[in-house]
A = this chain, B = another copy of it.
Amino acid sequence: MPKKRILPYVLLGLINNKGSLSGYQISQEFKHEVGDFWHASHSQIYPELARMKEDGWLIDHDEDKSTFYNVTEMGHQVLRDWMQEPLTDNEEIFSLKLYFIKEQSDPLLEDLLKQELKIKQTKLEYLQGRLKEVFSDKKTIQENFGHYLILTRAIERESNHIQWIEDKL
């Protein structure tokens, strides 16, 4: 099976948030706000928008020399479905989905945090297992110091993330 594409959902989410956006505005968004979490160039955006329109996820209207897109009912459904798809070990998607949540009261918020918590806990356990497995003695640590460092760093990173999520829940 081909790898799941993310761009269309990002576009859907962005247009949904703002109500209506042109291709140019979207490419500007990527230079600011969203740019911290995701990026796409205009040569990806324009054809993608055209495809999404053909698929019935968007409708367009011309205005002010720009083509603006709005999310259709079908598009809303597609976006909702994507938002509710289970998370995988991919922090970018977690960030994006969070980004698309507007209200603190949105029940999806807690759901996302809980999902991410579980994923990160599993990862933490895995990394801790690796540490024990690979670096059982001091000699191995000394002879693979960089590897040791980066593995312990990864563990601390996940711990920090878990703490943060637990804090928010």
Given A36-B127, A142-B104, decide whether A156 and B164 contact each other with a Cβ distance below 8 A. Answer: yes
Flag whether A114 is at the interface (Cβ < 8 A): no
In the complex, the chain B residue whose C-beta lies closest to that of A95 is: B150
Given A33-B134, A36-B130, A154-B36, decide whether A99 and B147 contact each other with a Cβ distance below 8 A. Answer: yes
A residues at B contact (CB < 8 Å): 33, 36-37, 95, 97-104, 106, 109, 127, 130, 134, 142-147, 149-151, 153-154, 156-157, 160-161, 164, 168
> Do the beta carbons of A102 and B36 come within 8 Å of each other?
no
Chain B residues in 8 Å Cβ range of A97 = 146
Chain B residues in 8 Å Cβ range of A127 = 36
Question: For the complex, would chain A's binding face be called helix, strand, loop or mixed by DSSP majority?
Answer: helix
Chain B residues in 8 Å Cβ range of A33 = 134, 147
In the complex, the chain B residue whose C-beta lies closest to that of A142 is: B104
In the complex, the chain B residue whose C-beta lies closest to that of A96 is: B150
Chain B residues in 8 Å Cβ range of A36 = 127, 130, 151, 154
- Cα distance, A127 to B102, chains bound together (Å): 20
Shortest Cβ-Cβ A-B pairs, 9 listed: A101-B146, A98-B146, A104-B145, A98-B150, A160-B160, A95-B150, A99-B147, A99-B146, A98-B149
Chain B residues in 8 Å Cβ range of A104 = 142, 145
> How distant is A94 from chain B, measured CB to nearest CB, in Å?
8
Contact partner, A145, options B109, B143, B153, B164, Cβ 8 Å: B109
> Do the beta carbons of A102 and B146 come within 8 Å of each other?
yes
In the complex, the chain B residue whose C-beta lies closest to that of A105 is: B145
> How distant is A131 from chain B, measured CB to nearest CB, in Å?
11
